[in-house]
Amino acid sequence: MTKAISLKKCLFSYNQSHKLVINIDQLDIESGERVFLYGPSGHGKSTLLNLTAGVLKANSGEVTVLGQDLTKLTQSKRDHLRGEKIGYIFQIFNLIPYLTVKENIVLPCLINKKRALEDYDKQAEELIDSLGLREHINKKVTDLSIGQQQRVAAARALIGNPEMIIADEPTSALDEKNTREFMELLMSVWEKKKFTLIFVSHDERLKSYFSRTISLPEINHHD
Ligand SMILES: Nc1ncnc2c1ncn2[C@@H]1O[C@H](COP(=O)(O)OP(=O)(O)OP(=O)(O)O)[C@@H](O)[C@H]1O
């Protein structure tokens, strides 16, 4: 199996002279793995996701993501890699309020050519069906419930078949029923596409959906 993510002796602090927020000796995630990353607040979960998505750059060490060492790439090359190969689902959904459900979903294809498959319109339609959004397709996203909005955000992350999906506490605004529905839909799409899935939550009950659990306090020896 090839590695989707490999961190070696990775150190990161928000300010060079201040405390280490990330101090990870080794972390490997295989392509196609579904990984549940959990840990209490402040243990660096979002920081680690931002390092693997190339939003942040490690102070030292190696952060190899989808075959490229991000510590050796410029900000703009890291941005390109993220736009082409990584779908990000946020805690706050970051949808564009004045666009419809479908317009929000196809946005990555308009911004990034490599995400724009020839049949991206067809794929948007398929995701709309898979995620139970058919009756809402032409509504503005602000007219949707919170659970529905998070499914739009998931479809937007999934369009264009990114190799990796990073989800940062995507269920934290959802109630129990919507959380269950969201998890089941995300897993049913994973069954079809087998992308690498890195899912962060402080809610340990969700770990049963994943093939591996990583406890951040066990691997991150931060200050
Ligand atoms: N932009 C920033 N500038 C300086 N320090 C930051 C910044 N973002 C986070 N931190 C600090 O880095 C540490 C890790 O934060 P991070 O958000 O990665 O943790 P987390 O595990 O995701 O927490 P939560 O579960 O509360 O979201 C915290 O001590 C936090 O205060």
**ipTM of the complex, rounded to two decimals:** 0.97
Instruction: Report CA-CA distances (Å) from 179 to 104, 128, 149, 216.
Output: 21, 18, 12, 22
Query: How sure is the predictor about 190, in pLDDT bands with cuts at 50, 70 and 90?
Result: very high
Q: Is the pLDDT of residue 198 over 90?
A: yes
Residue 94 C-alpha to ligand 1 middle, in angstroms? 19
Query: How sure is the predictor about 180, in pLDDT bands with cuts at 50, 70 and 90?
Result: very high
Q: Is the CB of 14 under 6 A from ligand 1?
A: yes
State the average pLDDT over residues 181-193: 91
pLDDT at residue 76, rounded to an integer = 94
- pLDDT per residue as tens digits for the range 123-161: 999 999 988 899 999 999 999 998 899 999 999 999 998
Which residue's CA is the nearest one to ligand 1's atom 27? 41
- Choosing from 11, 20, 21, 203 the residue with most ligand 1 atoms within 8 A of its CB, the one to mutate for a pocket test is 21
State the average pLDDT over residues 185-204: 92
CB 185 within 8 A of CB 155: no
- pLDDT per residue as tens digits for the range 49-86: 999 999 999 999 999 999 999 999 999 999 999 999 99
Query: How sure is the predictor about 223, in pLDDT bands with cuts at 50, 70 and 90?
Result: confident
State the average pLDDT over residues 29-35: 96
Percentage of the chain beyond pLDDT 70 is 98
Question: 151: which 2 tokens?
Answer: 């499914």
Residue 42 C-alpha to ligand 1 middle, in angstroms? 5
Using CA atoms, how far apart are residues 128 and 135, in angstroms rounded to an integer? 9
Q: Answer positive or negative: Cα dihedral of 140, 146, 147, 153.
A: positive
Q: Is the pLDDT of residue 106 over 90?
A: yes
Question: 18: which 2 tokens?
Answer: 């201040």
The class (CATH top level) of 33-57+74-219 is alpha beta
47: part of which helix (H) or strand (E)? helix 45-52
pLDDT at residue 93, rounded to an integer = 74
Domain boundaries, the chain: 33-57+74-219
pLDDT at residue 16, rounded to an integer = 65
pLDDT at residue 173, rounded to an integer = 86
User: DSSP per residue over 172-211, as a string?
Assistant: TTS-HHHHHHHHHHHHHHHHHH--EEEEEES-GGGGGGSS
Using N-to-C axis directions, what is the helix angle for 120-130 and 176-193, rounded to 10°?
A: 140
